[in-house]
Amino acid sequence: MARKFSIAAMAMELMESLLVRKPATVMYPIERLAPPDRFRGRMRYDPDSCTLCGLCQRDCPADVIKVVRKRVEREDGKKETVGHVEFEMDRCVFCGQCAYSCNSGSITFTKDFELAQPQRQLFMMKGEAEEVDDDACDADTEVVP
């Protein structure tokens, strides 16, 4: 009898807590929670500040980034590096290492988390970097042909 009573009391307690407690979930997508401050959502690449140094490619653990660059000689004889950076974002694990490694602040993350796409091709990102001074490139970093 005592056991029955305790189960009934527990059930009552549970019912009360369910009625009083705020739900842990929200009616997404009608209602949306704000991501926390340090949340890493959609990546943003700024080609204007990128020096094509290749550090992001070197440090990415998921092999997402490919820095493509070549050295060209201008008419005045000065050497410059031109190129672009490619991102295969379907493999990205949003670890943030590329942004941490980039000395130019060219990679940042927004709070946009709705990243689903119907085709893999839509995850490919490419940014043409500005022509950069040859000295800005790390000579030890592999140049992807």
51 binds ligand SF4 (CB under 6 A): yes
Which residues, other chains included, contact 135 with Cβ-Cβ below 8 Å and sequence gap of 6+?
none
Candidates 19-27, 31-39, 56-64, 112-120: pick the segment binding ligand SF4 (CB under 6 A). Answer: 56-64
Do residues 43 and 65 touch, judged by C-beta distance below 8 A?
no
Under the binding rule (CB under 6 A), the answer on residue 108 touching ligand SF4 is no
Selected from 8, 10, 26, 93, the binder of ligand SF4 by CB under 6 A is 93
Minimum distance from residue 122 beta carbon to ligand SF4 (Å): 16
Nearest to 141 by CA among 59, 46, 63, 62: 59
Minimum distance from residue 106 beta carbon to ligand SF4 (Å): 4
Residue 81 CB, nearest approach to ligand SF4 (Å): 10
Task: Note whether 136 and 58 are within 8 A (CB).
Answer: no
Under rule CB under 6 A, residue 96 binds ligand SF4: yes
- CA–CA distance from 42 to each of 90, 93, 111, 123, 135 (Å)? 11, 11, 7, 11, 31
DSSP conformational letter for 142: P
**Out of 84, 104, 143, 144, the residue judged to bind ligand SF4 by CB under 6 A:** 104
